[in-house]
């Protein structure tokens, strides 16, 4: 068996065997297969595709390239969620304590922001001294004691994906369904939870631009998760505007605190959908799950559980009780230049505006300013008059005019109201697609 024969076989449109897939994944991970040959194979996969079995074998080979998280020491029903990325998407930080209040164990490994999407770890690190760098024993101990823990992945979780994704990023091979599915699912399966809810985004602030693309990706990932014997489902959600009105690290924590205090919003709606569907995957009737969610919020237990998690991970939990302690930048308003409706947003540009201010990464090693960001003052469909505030920029005098100009161009005022501003559009599980 050799890599040239495997490349030629895929170029010819033939299916690769499990052994051939394991050969090229292991060979590339350990350095025996060079970048130029792997690039050729990746392009062949982009052009010729992979069927369900090939994608499953690719996912499994990537999963087995490094460590997996052993959750056997956790006492209870383990669950996890994954978002395909978006702007103002701070769902994990609220869903974890909510589910913990409901008796489930949330062992969540998260990542950092890159590009226009924010990272859960970066948001949590805006809380002074919050520790995301935990070994497996401490990670599992916190989950057992608190009910939830959010930490970073170890360096050796799915190393094949880290190496392959870096190559895909510079060879124009990111837009391939089997490669996307195997990348996401290898990491989710490596995280160890039995019950997994995927949040697949589409729109101007997501990698998938249309609902059909998002559904196709969700269906493929659910099939792989089912083959791996996990209870798995996926929500299809709209990212045509920021999910939270707060965009930026510390600001998004402020928004989460408002939500856990019971403030209704798109973020509240999204968290309720994610939490209740995940509880359903864990065996709870959907109607009962909705009541459990409402009780966790209205009783204040969910907010208290977040405080408990922050304290357990070394953070200053007083910031959750007193969000005014966050050191935020000075404010500058962006206003409407005409009467009309908020008809469209280039949501990814809102995320990039936060990066320009210093709140996100353009390069992997960029240092963040946790106190800058944007608070949206309007939602899609809102009626506005000339001079009304559309958004407030929190800044430290870095690139503020550039960010303001980008933000002004990203919010479109139109004569007519958009037809739909719905957030949750569909649910996908092993039984198929249900429109909501």
Q: What is the pLDDT along the chain (436 residues), one digit of tens a residue?
A: 899 999 999 999 999 999 999 999 999 999 999 999 999 999 999 999 999 999 999 999 999 999 999 999 999 999 999 998 889 999 999 999 999 999 999 999 988 766 677 789 999 999 999 999 999 999 999 999 999 999 998 778 999 998 998 899 888 888 899 999 999 999 999 999 999 999 999 999 988 899 999 999 999 999 999 999 999 999 999 999 999 999 999 999 999 999 999 999 999 999 999 999 999 999 999 999 999 999 999 999 999 999 999 999 999 999 999 999 999 999 999 999 999 999 999 999 999 999 999 998 766 667 899 999 999 999 999 999 999 999 999 999 999 999 999 999 999 999 999 988 899 999 999 999 999 9
Report the alpha-carbon distance of residue 302 to residue 295 in Å, rounded.
9
Residues with Cβ within 8 Å of residue 234, at least 6 apart in sequence:
197, 198, 199, 200, 218, 219, 221, 222, 427, 428, 429
Report the alpha-carbon distance of residue 83 to residue 325 in Å, rounded.
29
Residue 225 vs residues 17, 69, 321: alpha-carbon distances, Å: 20, 16, 38
Backbone angles phi and psi of 345, in degrees to 5 = -135, 140
Report the alpha-carbon distance of residue 390 to residue 410 in Å, rounded.
11
Report the alpha-carbon distance of residue 301 to residue 294 in Å, rounded.
11
Report the alpha-carbon distance of residue 351 to residue 418 in Å, rounded.
22
Please say whether the beta carbons of 329 and 387 come within 8 A.
Answer: no
Query: Measured between alpha carbons, how far apart are the two ends of the chain, in Å?
Result: 48
Strands 105-110 and 195-202: unpaired
| Other Cβ atoms closer than 10 A to 5 | 11
Q: Is the dihedral of CA 206, 328, 315, 134 positive or negative?
A: positive
Three-state secondary-structure class, residue 412? strand
Residues with Cβ within 8 Å of residue 379, at least 6 apart in sequence:
241, 245, 266, 342, 421
Residues with Cβ within 8 Å of residue 31, at least 6 apart in sequence:
none
Residue where the block lists tokens 């052009």: 47
| Other Cβ atoms closer than 10 A to 73 | 12
Q: Closest Cα to residue 251, out of 395, 411, 431?
A: 395
Domains of the chain (ranges, CATH numbers)? 3-49 (1.20.970.10), 78-320+424-435 (3.40.1030.10), 329-414 (3.90.1170.30)
| Other Cβ atoms closer than 10 A to 114 | 18
Look at residue 56 in the predicted model and tell me its pLDDT.
98
Q: Which residues pair with 374 in a beta bridge?
A: 247, 393
Please say whether the beta carbons of 126 and 253 come within 8 A.
Answer: yes
Residue 429 vs residues 104, 173, 202, 231, 255: alpha-carbon distances, Å: 20, 27, 18, 9, 30
Burial of 170 (0-12, 13-18, 19+ CB in 10 A): exposed
- Give catalytic residue positions: 82, 161, 168, 183, 187
Q: Running DSSP on this structure, what letter comes out for residue 114?
A: B
Q: Which residues pair with 335 in a beta bridge?
A: 389
* Distance, C-alpha 18 to centroid of its chain: 30
Backbone angles phi and psi of 201, in degrees to 5 = -95, 150
Report the alpha-carbon distance of residue 427 to residue 214 in Å, rounded.
11
Residues with Cβ within 8 Å of residue 83, at least 6 apart in sequence:
89, 91, 92, 198, 199, 201
Residue where the block lists tokens 């540009």: 349
Q: Closest Cα to residue 17, out of 58, 66, 64?
A: 58
Look at residue 45 in the predicted model and tell me its pLDDT.
97
Report the alpha-carbon distance of residue 284 to residue 387 in Å, rounded.
48
Q: Closest Cα to residue 203, out of 249, 243, 251, 247?
A: 243
Strands 389-395 and 195-202: unpaired
Look at residue 361 in the predicted model and tell me its pLDDT.
74
């Amino acid at each position: 068996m050799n890599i040239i024969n495997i490349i030629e076989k895929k170029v010819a449109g033939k299916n690769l065997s499990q052994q051939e897939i394991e050969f090229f994944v292991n060979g590339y991970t350990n350095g025996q297969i060079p970048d130029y040959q792997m690039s050729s194979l990746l392009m062949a996969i982009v052009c010729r595709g992979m069927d369900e079995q090939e994608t499953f074998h690719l996912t499994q080979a990537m999963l087995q390239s490094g460590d997996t998280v052993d959750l056997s020491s956790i006492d209870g029903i383990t669950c996890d969620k994954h978002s395909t990325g978006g702007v103002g998407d701070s769902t994990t930080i609220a869903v974890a304590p909510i589910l913990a209040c409901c008796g489930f164990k949330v062992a969540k490994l998260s990542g950092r922001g890159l590009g226009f999407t924010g990272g859960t770890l970066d948001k949590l690190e805006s809380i002074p001294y919050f520790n995301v760098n935990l070994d497996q024993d401490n990670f599992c101990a916190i989950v057992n004691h608190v009910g939830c823990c959010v930490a970073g992945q170890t360096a050796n979780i799915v190393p094949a994906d880290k190496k392959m994704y870096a190559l895909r990023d510079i060879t124009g091979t990111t837009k391939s369904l089997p490669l996307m599915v195997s990348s996401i699912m290898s990491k989710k399966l490596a995280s160890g939870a039995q019950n997994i809810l995927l949040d697949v985004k589409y729109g101007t602030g997501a990698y998938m631009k249309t609902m059909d693309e998002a559904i196709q990706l969700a269906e493929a990932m659910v099939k792989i998760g089912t083959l791996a014997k996990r209870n798995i489902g996926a929500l299809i959600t709209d990212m045509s505007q920021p999910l939270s009105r707060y965009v930026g690290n510390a600001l998004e924590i402020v928004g989460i605190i408002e939500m856990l205090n019971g403030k209704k919003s798109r973020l509240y709606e999204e968290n309720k959908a994610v939490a209740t569907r995940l509880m359903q995957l864990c065996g709870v009737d959907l109607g009962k799950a909705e009541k459990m969610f409402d009780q966790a919020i209205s009783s204040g237990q969910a907010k208290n559980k977040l405080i408990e998690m922050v304290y357990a991970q070394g953070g200053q939990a007083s910031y959750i009780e007193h969000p005014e302690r966050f050191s935020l930048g000075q404010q500058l308003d962006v206003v409407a230049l005409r009467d009309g409706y908020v008809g469209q947003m280039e949501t990814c540009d809102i995320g990039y505006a936060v990066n320009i201010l210093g709140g996100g990464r353009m390069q992997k090693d960029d240092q963040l300013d946790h106190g800058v960001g944007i608070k949206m003052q309007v939602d899609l469909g809102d009626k506005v008059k000339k001079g009304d505030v559309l958004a407030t920029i929190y800044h430290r005098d870095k690139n503020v005019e550039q960010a303001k100009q980008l933000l002004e161009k990203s919010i479109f005022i139109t004569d007519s109201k958009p037809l739909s501003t719905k957030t949750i559009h569909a649910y996908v599980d092993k039984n198929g697609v249900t429109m909501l």
